């Protein structure tokens, strides 16, 4: 075909005067040690930040920072229709909240780094320079197909059971004359820029993905869109240009992009760019009955990162959990190094499950309980107050009204070899420890098996002997003494052998006292609870219970 591509390029991009060489000079090679990984998070600002973002971010972050490389944030805002105002800020804040620190990229106050702009809509001029170059080389062309024409084409392909897309005989603008193009342009018709694919679905080639392993890939034969009619690039074109100019060495992204990977490989080659390494991560899955399925935005609230904050999972727990599902050897490492910084763990992208990680709520709870159990009372206090300030102001006010009291409560069972594992989330703190505050104390409901007079007697006897100065052993001896004085037994074996021989056991007597003091049948160690409550509060609660009986 007789077409002067140079003329076409001028026709399409009359205002682009910059050359590729000039652009390249603005994005010099990075000076980094051998083997340093340069990667990025490239989220679209839709306002919804999900666990998948954090998983991808964690993988990129670890790969970069473990190798002495650079992690940057690029905002992929090419789809203006999906953009939510303020979403970029939410995104940056949320990622920061979870400890993803960028070395470079978009920030609240603009760009940080020399490889910007880091928001794609601000890079339109850059993409156009490369687009113009492709047109000059005959590797891209304008297409004036209307929405209707494309729909009709699709229907035709469906009817003929052919592959969908703009290729072969369907690529009707691929070889059009300059005159035809000029006519449309003169008439002010909108156009998109398409890639002129030279691939064939008859050809395959080998490709190595860092997660998926060795793959056999079929060439792309579709003339995909590079620039949309508003001049904004598609993801594909922006990916190639940006990751080239920003010197990305590793692209970590969801495996939904595998389908267009053949095109991306082709595009990098057409542009003369070195192909980065790809780390295609599987989706987050969960068990639904006996089968696995992808986590869904609609069905699974735990996909949204806001969920973890509202539930009160500590940040450290979420990070620890993510590492647990990403690298199966993490748990063993953690057991061997309970106090080590999580970043000392050697993360390996090779250990990622190619099929995707399995999200397991029970595991998250377990990890979180462990994380909280390793914290000291001061840390728990600080994080709990921070959470409560946002989600339970009344509770926050009570905690803050007497920090020492709150910390002495939170210190129960902490430290030592086997710390208590009561809480998985800050939301569980109030049900666990609320009874220490009169406002949250519930009225006890005693087992109807026992006469009220019996409960009253046990409580009265306890009050007569109670001393806050007793140690735990003396305290318990007194409870046992009350037990036998009332005809109950301390001999659990004897009771089991013949329950009808006794009105009850030492456990029942303890429960009466526990319920009077805590309102509940379950609580941390009762002796310790009384020590924390102090003499006056303890006595006052038992008296109030006796009166209410």
Q: Which region among 171-179, 215-223, 251-259, 406-414 touches ligand GLU (by CB under 6 A)?
A: 251-259
Phi, psi of 425 (to 5 degrees): -140, 160
Rounded least distance, CB 235 to ligand GLU, Å: 6
Cα–Cα nearest to 51, from 249, 237, 294, 224: 294
Using the minimum distance from each CB to ligand GLU, give the nearer residue, 48 or 435.
Answer: 48
Rounded least distance, CB 88 to ligand GLU, Å: 13
Question: Residues 521-540 vs ligand GLU: string with x where CB under 6 A?
Answer: --------------------
| Bridge pairing between strands 213-218 and 204-209 | antiparallel
Using the minimum distance from each CB to ligand GLU, give the nearer residue, 48 or 144.
Answer: 48
Q: Which residues contact 460 (CB under 8 A, 6 or more apart)?
A: 546
Using the minimum distance from each CB to ligand GLU, give the nearer residue, 251 or 506.
Answer: 251
Q: Is 253 in the site for ligand GLU (CB under 6 A)?
A: yes
∠ CA 110-111-112, nearest 5°, is 130
Cα–Cα nearest to 103, from 68, 77, 128: 68
Using the minimum distance from each CB to ligand GLU, give the nearer residue, 281 or 424.
Answer: 281
| Bridge pairing between strands 358-359 and 291-294 | unpaired
Rounded least distance, CB 42 to ligand GLU, Å: 4
Q: Is 248 in the site for ligand GLU (CB under 6 A)?
A: no
Q: Which region among 8-16, 18-26, 249-257, 362-370 touches ligand GLU (by CB under 6 A)?
A: 249-257
Here the tokens at position 378 are 């001061």
Residues 108-147 within binding reach of ligand GLU (CB under 6 A): none
Using the minimum distance from each CB to ligand GLU, give the nearer residue, 47 or 254.
Answer: 254
Here the tokens at position 95 are 């990622």
Cβ 163 vs Cβ 259: under 8 Å: no
Using CB under 6 A, count the residues that bind ligand GLU: 8
Residues 16-55 within binding reach of ligand GLU (CB under 6 A): 42-44
How many CA atoms lie within 13 Å of 262's alpha carbon, on the beta-carbon side? 20
Residue 63 to residues 13, 58, 59, 252, 279: CA-CA distances in angstroms? 39, 8, 6, 10, 11
Rounded least distance, CB 59 to ligand GLU, Å: 11
Using the minimum distance from each CB to ligand GLU, give the nearer residue, 38 or 546.
Answer: 38
Rounded least distance, CB 332 to ligand GLU, Å: 30
Rounded least distance, CB 388 to ligand GLU, Å: 34
Cβ 420 vs Cβ 522: under 8 Å: no
Measured N-to-C along each axis, helices 377-391 and 393-401 cross at an angle, to the nearest 10 degrees, of 140
Rounded least distance, CB 276 to ligand GLU, Å: 10
Rounded least distance, CB 191 to ligand GLU, Å: 24
Residue 161 to residues 153, 386, 477: CA-CA distances in angstroms? 12, 59, 85
Q: Is 76 in the site for ligand GLU (CB under 6 A)?
A: yes
Cβ 513 vs Cβ 542: under 8 Å: yes
Residues binding ligand GLU (CB under 6 A) = 42-44, 76, 239, 251, 253-254
């Amino acid at each position: 075909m007789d077409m002067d591509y140079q003329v076409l390029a001028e026709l399409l991009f009359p205002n682009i005067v910059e050359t590729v060489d000039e652009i390249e000079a603005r994005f010099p090679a990075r000076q980094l040690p051998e083997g340093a990984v340069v990667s990025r998070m490239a989220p679209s600002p839709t306002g919804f930040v999900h666990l998948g973002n954090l998983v991808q971010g964690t993988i990129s972050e670890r790969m970069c920072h473990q190798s002495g490389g650079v992690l940057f944030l690029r905002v992929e805002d090419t789809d203006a229709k999906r953009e939510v105002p303020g979403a970029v800020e939410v995104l940056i804040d949320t990622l920061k909240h979870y400890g993803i620190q960028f070395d470079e990229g978009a920030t609240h106050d603009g760009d940080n780094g020399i490889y910007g702009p880091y928001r794609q809509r601000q890079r339109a001029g850059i993409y156009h320079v490369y687009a113009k170059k492709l047109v000059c080389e005959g590797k891209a062309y304008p297409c004036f197909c209307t929405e209707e024409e494309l729909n009709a084409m699709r229907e035709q392909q469906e009817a003929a059971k052919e592959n969908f897309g703009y290729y072969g005989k369907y690529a009707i603008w691929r070889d059009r004359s300059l005159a035809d193009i000029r006519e449309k342009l003169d008439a002010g018709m909108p156009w998109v820029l398409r890639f002129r694919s030279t691939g064939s679905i008859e050809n395959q080639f080998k490709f190595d993905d860092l997660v998926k392993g060795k793959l056999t890939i079929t060439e792309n034969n579709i003339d995909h869109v590079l620039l949309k009619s508003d001049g904004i690039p598609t993801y594909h074109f922006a990916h190639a240009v940006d990751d080239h100019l920003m010197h990305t060495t590793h692209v970590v992204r969801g495996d939904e992009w595998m389908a267009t990977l053949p095109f991306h490989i082709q595009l990098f080659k057409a542009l003369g760019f070195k192909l980065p390494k790809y780390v295609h991560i599987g989706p987050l899955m969960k068990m639904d009955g006996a089968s696995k399925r992808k986590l869904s935005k609609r069905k699974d609230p735990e996909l949204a990162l806001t969920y973890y904050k509202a539930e009160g999972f500590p940040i450290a727990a979420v990070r620890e959990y993510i590492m647990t599902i990403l690298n199966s050897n993490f748990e063993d490492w953690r057991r061997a190094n309970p106090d080590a910084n999580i970043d000392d763990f050697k993360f390996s992208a090779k250990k990622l499950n190619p099929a995707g990680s399995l999200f397991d709520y029970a595991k998250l709870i377990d990890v979180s309980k462990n994380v909280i159990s390793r914290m000291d009372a001061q840390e728990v206090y600080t994080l709990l107050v921070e959470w409560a300030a946002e989600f339970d102001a009344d509770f926050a006010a009570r905690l803050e009204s007497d920090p020492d009291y709150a910390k002495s409560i939170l210190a129960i069972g902490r430290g030592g070899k086997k710390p208590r594992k009561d809480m998985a989330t800050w939301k569980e703190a109030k049900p666990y420890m609320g009874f220490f505050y009169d406002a949250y104390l519930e009225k006890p409901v005693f087992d109807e098996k026992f006469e009220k007079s019996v409960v009253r007697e046990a409580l009265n006897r306890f009050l007569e002997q109670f001393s806050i100065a007793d140690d735990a052993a003396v305290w318990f001896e007194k409870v046992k003494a009350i037990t036998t004085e009332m005809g109950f037994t301390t001999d659990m074996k004897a009771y089991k052998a013949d329950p009808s021989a006794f009105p009850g056991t030492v456990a029942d007597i303890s429960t009466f006292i526990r319920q009077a003091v805590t309102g509940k049948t379950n609580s941390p160690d009762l002796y310790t609870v009384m020590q924390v409550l102090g003499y006056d509060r303890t006595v006052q609660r038992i008296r109030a219970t006796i009166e209410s009986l």
